Structure 1
Amino acid sequence: MTVTTPGGNSNPEPFFYVNAPWVTSVSPAAGQFVGGGSVTITGLNLATVQAVDFGSNAGTITGVSDTTVTVTVPRADSVGTVPVTVIQSPGGNTDMPSAYTCLAGPGI
């Protein structure tokens, strides 16, 4: 990349395009709402993932490759389905977040 101004041109610098992350599956797709379980997210362009959100709560990334991200699921705000959003910088977020269902524990 070179910047051109009326005063001249800058030195050329490399510029890299980064593809946005693409998620194809979340496995398992459900778990206890108290969190703590491990989830594997499969897709493309995942090597530079910065965070994975389950609804409004951030998971803890424990492993990353270009095609998988392993995450410890955080405690959910409530029982039900929440979006899973893969956040990458630069490159953006997943356009279509996947879902994870937070299940209630067994009753006593």
Structure 2
Amino acid sequence: MKPIWTNSFDGTPIVSPVIVSYMSQTSTPYLIIASLGGTIGCLDPRNPSHLVWMRNGKMPVFSKPLLYMDSSYKVNVIIAGVSGTIRSFSLVNGNIDCSYECLKN
């Protein structure tokens, strides 16, 4: 059986679950991907060779990305990396909305 499509993303293993989001503004299904290489990205499965956006999170990600909608109905992606850094990315363009580093004590 051959896959319908593939995307090598950043070339590093992907061990966190891939999540599907529907943007309320466009009703477009997007796949949110996080890798051991520290890359976070958004892929449109209708055109899988082109990433909607890709950002270097600078930390391996093992956990499932979390989606949340803020009070202005903007959808965000929360990523928690192994370094203890938690980042929030805009689902629309991948811009970092918030970054928090947990204390190491």
**Fold-level similarity (TM above 0.5):** no
User: Highest relative contact order (Cα 8 Å, sep 6+), 1 or 2?
Assistant: 1
Question: How high is the TM-score relative to the length of structure 1?
Answer: 0.26
Point out the structure with the larger strand share: 1
Question: How high is the TM-score relative to the length of structure 2?
Answer: 0.27
Q: Which has the larger radius of gyration?
A: 1
